[in-house]
Amino acid sequence: MVSQVPVVEAVSQGGMVKVIGRIKKIWLESFLPAPYAEDPNGFDWLAAEIMQPGGIYQIARSGDEVVGFAQGRKRDKSEQPSDWERELVRSVGEPAVGECIYDQFAISCIAVSPEWRGRHLGGALHDGLLQTVRSPRAWLITYPFDCPALTLYRRRGWQLLGSAALGSGGSERLILSRQLDHDCSRDGG
């Protein structure tokens, strides 16, 4: 039953780990059904991403219940690239990869429990996450079809960098980037 007005708040990595079971449930509820049809094992990547250093996290709560989350981190150019990252770089190309991907903040995931959708929680999680970022740009990948996430990103000024087979089973994804509207001279993600 949907009862309390949700609160969006920043949490630590430890805070995310404490609620990882609920995060997984929201991810599975959000991305297994059509039209997304993600591989159930795709959550393992997100769980590993949450454990990486330098992450920034937001959670939406209604009382004690986690009803949504957002996660991302700055991508360091010095990190050993995976096959997935090499495909990302190939598809974006120069100079965009140098300006928009390397050493910039990447949103890994934003998800809201189905019963809480349509209440602007995705937008609040998105905005809360980006307000804490200190990179001049951010990037993400998303689905290439009309869905709430793509609508949100368009409304928030995200621009298309390219597309590539970056999803489960090599499915197509859009690569978006956005200039951030804050003082980027401070250190941090």
66 membership: H or E segment, kind and range: strand 65-74
pLDDT given at position 189? 44
Contact 117, 151 (CB under 8 A): no
How many Å apart are CA 184 and CA 182, to the nearest integer? Answer: 6
Contact 139, 72 (CB under 8 A): no
Average pLDDT, whole number, for the chain?
Answer: 89
CA dihedral 11→71→52→65, nearest 10 degrees, is 50
- Please determine, for residue 105, whether its predicted confidence score (pLDDT) is greater than 50: yes
pLDDT given at position 117? 94
Task: Provide mean pLDDT across the span 132-147.
Answer: 92
Task: Provide mean pLDDT across the span 149-168.
Answer: 92
Task: Provide mean pLDDT across the span 36-62.
Answer: 92
Chain centroid, CA 16 distance in Å: 14
pLDDT given at position 185? 34
- Please determine, for residue 63, whether its predicted confidence score (pLDDT) is greater than 80: yes
> The tokens of 98 are what?
């140098």
Q: In this predicted model, what pLDDT tens digit does every residue of 110-132 receive, in sequence order?
A: 999 999 999 999 999 999 999 99
Could you give the C-alpha distances from 164 to 92, 142, 149, in angstroms and in order? 9, 11, 18
- Please determine, for residue 47, whether its predicted confidence score (pLDDT) is greater than 80: yes
Contact 43, 27 (CB under 8 A): yes
Contacts (Cβ under 8 Å, ≥6 apart) of 65: 22
- Characterize the bridge pairing of strands 137-142 and 105-112: parallel
Cα three-residue angle 38-173-43, rounded to 5 degrees: 30
pLDDT given at position 70? 97
